[in-house]
Amino acid sequence: METETEKRVSARITGRVQGVGFRNFTQRRARRLGVTGWVRNEPDGSVRLEAEGPTDALESLVEAVHQGPRMARVQEVDADWSDADDEFEVFQVRR
């Protein structure tokens, strides 16, 4: 059991990140990396990401959301790291 490598990342992504396929992009990447959690649009125009998994997979996910899909223009990714609490079973888009 690798609980010492399991982490959680909470991130707020700003820029042109709504209406450009950002949530689906993030979900596909997270599932490919074996990460659980969720992503959703926020009323202020940002995107919120909550994810748990192996540290290296989460780092890859955070790196991916710095770019986002082709039409996105990411200005900032504000990420906070903590220990995982196994809250999620899959990665999903929340509305």
41 is catalytic: yes
The CA-atom distances, in angstroms, between 11 and each of 1, 2, 44 are: 26, 23, 14
Catalytic residue among 23, 24, 29, 95: 23
Distance in angstroms (rounded) separating the CA atoms of residues 85 and 83: 7
Catalytic residue among 28, 40, 41, 48: 41
The answer to whether the beta carbons of residues 11 and 78 sit under 8 Å apart is yes
Which active-site residues does the annotation give?
23, 41
